[in-house]
Amino acid sequence: MGQTKRKLQAGEAAYGAWQMIGHPTVAELLAAEGFDWLCVDLEHTPIDAQTFENVARAVRPSGVDLLARLHGCDPLQTKTVLDAGAQGVIVPLVNTAQQAAEAAAMARFPPVGTRGAAFSRASDFGRRFRDYFLAHNEQVLVVPMIEHIAAVENLDAILSTPGLDAILIGPYDLSCSMGRPGELQHPEVQGALEAILDGCRRHGVPPGIHVVSTAASAVQEAVQRGFRFVGCGLDTAFVIDGARRVLGREG
């Protein structure tokens, strides 16, 4: 079992980096900094399956839990990234209990899931096939994204779905769906965040949020608020912020 899942089950915070730049060296740099997980964003970037496989090779020595944000609730893409060596998937725009159940199933082998088995990098090309198959369903990490007001309205049904290891709020998408694009501090948006936190407490599902800001204080504020699966910044934002600091243009 990866460190991320162990921490979540223990009620601890698990910190992740977010990769938008499609290069294995970027993943290698981030993975060596002590994050629990690294998410490669396949939804909003041109990163393809071959690049993802190269990223998996690059981060393997670090022990970081490699995750992929998918295009959507896509069983084929799920199989591709898990075969390449991902420890789990982040599934965008999960708005219903049915979609949550599909997300949980597509990442797991039968009889509880629908993932197809293969001799792939994940099972050391078949050399660890049986051990990998027997352990995978318990070890894989499945995280649906709550990023639309429709998901908030269906929250109890979504959180009642078996097989979810955490949820992840996409705050910008959520604000857009509420007619408040980017207004993350608006009372209506903050009210939706509190409703999600309350729902997670009731159902025992670790709440998560992507803190897009690169400020350490913003990450710690999220943890103090109760979030446990915490995405920290973006690789692109790290580059921009570093360049601005060198030029004396912070903020």
In a domain, 49, yes or no: yes
In a domain, 16, yes or no: yes
Stated pTM of the model? 0.96
Range of the domain at 10: 3-107+139-246
In a domain, 119, yes or no: no
Token match 């995405």: residue? 231
Among 44, 71, 148, 186, the one annotated catalytic: 44
In a domain, 128, yes or no: no
> Residue 45: which CATH number?
3.20.20.60
Tens digit of pLDDT for each residue in 53-82?
999 999 999 999 999 999 999 999 999 999
Structural contact between residues 227 and 200, judged by C-beta atoms closer than 8 angstroms? no
Residue 186 annotated in active site:
no
AA letter at 204: G
* Element spanning 141, H or E: strand 141-146
In a domain, 157, yes or no: yes
Tens digit of pLDDT for each residue in 177-230?
999 999 999 999 999 999 999 999 999 999 999 999 999 999 999 999 999 999
Tens digit of pLDDT for each residue in 88-145?
999 999 999 999 999 999 999 999 999 999 999 999 999 999 999 999 999 999 999 9
Looking at the structure of the chain, the number of domains it has is 1
117 phi and psi angles, rounded to 5 deg: -95, 150
